Amino acid sequence: MELSSKAELVSAALNRVVVHVPVSAFNDAKSMSKITASLLENIGHTGCHSGHIFDFRAIREFVVNPATLELKGLAEQIRDVSIGR
């Protein structure tokens, strides 16, 4: 996509939506379909995503527990916080 003006560049930047997805969901078409439907609902465009750029990124980041030096996937950390663990 070639942008011809600063206004188009700013508009494209404002309409970019970055979505961090666990690898398990990233590699599953049904999960990605559900995530996309939820995303469309959240941005108020349940029928289409024209005018928006969805940037899906697989979460491949880890957190080190300083006490044990064990790795835990960042996606696991996010899930644990969201369900109150």
pLDDT for the residue 73: 79
| 6 in Cβ contact with 13 (< 8 Å) | no
pLDDT of residue 85: 41
Half-sphere exposure of 29 (CA within 13 A, CB side): 0
- Contact call for residues 75 and 62 (beta carbons, < 8 A): no
* pLDDT, mean over the chain: 78
Domain ranges of the chain: 6-82
Banded pLDDT at 6 (limits 50, 70, 90): low
Nearest to residue 19, comparing CAs of 63, 49, 62, 8? 49
pLDDT one-digit tens code per residue, 41-50: 988 878 777 7
Alpha helices in 1-85 (DSSP H): 6-14, 23-26, 29-43, 74-82
pTM reported for the whole predicted model: 0.60
